[in-house]
Structure formats: structure tokens, C-alpha cells
Copies of this chain bind each other. A is one copy, B any other.
């Protein structure tokens, strides 16, 4: 029997990094988790145990800390790109580098109406993410948001859908819509203010979710993705994924109680899952 190694990659996952930028009048923190993965001329290691081309993942971890120094206020996308170039430049056996960075959003604690200079609390549950993938020829940058939890209690219906012999769901004219927005977008420009773009995208997602009159989560998702493309000129393409966290109406009629759209049972599983990719044309 003969086998062929058709693809391989390796790297270090979940490198934890906290950067403190100490400006004269305030501090800023970046609290990141970094994943690195490399492709290259590694077949001898996999097949025969020859490690000469293998840069240990421990060294990759050290590199993250070393390259972060002196750049405490640098954002995810720029740091990711710098890591990609470093590994490609330093090790000729590496042909592709993928960097994924995620992190919670920390906000200054507000005391006496003002942002405290060096104390922070975790903001909303949403997570900022970035992915940078590069070869000696090109680099691709992706930004995104994960876990932006939103719920609306009006302006959502689901009617007129297909039925078959296993259908039991009835038309819902005024339902609770609960979901978490996960979105990742790429750019058609090289020079982008990634922070401004991320904030504009998040604000567009929230505002559109609030104001969109939803005929389905499919339609809402399409509208949200469109809102990001409208709000962020540098964005070329967006992938978006949203679970339908069903809030089940609780029928209390058998207890002589008329539940007038007031009492619901949120459920974790199962959930609908809607995903799409939209591009600017």
C-alpha cells in the first residue's frame, strides 16, 4: 500500500497576548488570542521525522511576543500582516502563513462621568476578529465580529412558507427574534482604517437589526450584510452567519391563562442556522 501526503500545515494556537499602550494621559489595552499556522516544505518531517525544516511552534509563540513589543497600540490586522511577512522573510521553507486574532472589547470604566485613564471593564460579549493569510506573492486581510447577541420583540414575522407532511409550525405574525451575529469581511483596498471600519460595521449591524422589518431571519441576514457593505466603502465581500435562537411561545391556555405574547421559553438547541456571502458588484 502507498499513501500520499496531499496537504499539511502546523502552527501554534491560542497564544495569549496582552499589550498595554502607555500614553501620557491614558492607557489602552489589546487582549488577544493569536493562532498561527504555516504551510511549506515540511514533507520530510511528516514522512521521515527529519525536523530540519521545522520551526518549533514554541518559537512561533516567542515571535508573537517579541514582535508585539514596541507596537502596543497596533491593531489586529496590521500586526497580523507583520507576522506574516516576518515568517515568510525569515524562513524560506515557509510558503504560506495564516494568522487569526480574536479578542474581547475592553472599555474604560466611567467614573464621575469620564473615562478612567487606566481601568477597564469588558464591554459587550461581542468579539473582534481578524485573519491575515499570506504567501510571498499576496496577502489577504479579513476583519470580523463574533457573538454580537441581539433580540427584538416586535417587527418580526414568519409566514407563507413551504409545507409538507411533517410540517407543524404555524404562521407567526409577531414573534420574538433572538440571534447572534457573526460576520467576516474582506477589502478591495489596500489602505484601510480597520478600526473605523469595524466600528462602522458593528453600528450598521445593530441599527439595521433594530429597524429592519423582518419577514424571516434569512431576509434579516441579507439586509444586515447589505448594511455593512453600504456603511463601509472599503469592504468588498462579507460572509455572515446567524443562529435562530428560538424563543418558544408558552401556551398557558390549559391553566386558564391567556399568554398575550408575554411569556417565552428561550432554547439553546436545536437552532436554525442561516449563512450567506454577499459581494459588492
Contacts and interface: CB of A to CB of B under 8 A. Distances in A.
A241 B27 CA distance: 27
Given A6-B277, A56-B162, 14 more contacts: A3-B278, A3-B279, A6-B278, A8-B275, A16-B265, A50-B160, A51-B162, A54-B216, A59-B166, A59-B169, A62-B167, A91-B164, A111-B207, A120-B150
15 contacts: A2-B280, A5-B222, A11-B273, A12-B272, A20-B261, A29-B151, A47-B222, A49-B215, A51-B159, A53-B162, A59-B169, A66-B166, A69-B252, A110-B206, A119-B152
A276 B125 contact: no
B20 A262 contact: yes
B206 A42 contact: no
Contacts of A176: 18, 20
A155 B3 CA distance: 24
Nearest to A269: B14
A191 interface: no
B119 A273 contact: no
Given A66-B252, A123-B124, A262-B20, A153 B27 contact: yes
Interface string A32-75: 01010100001001111111111111110111011011101000
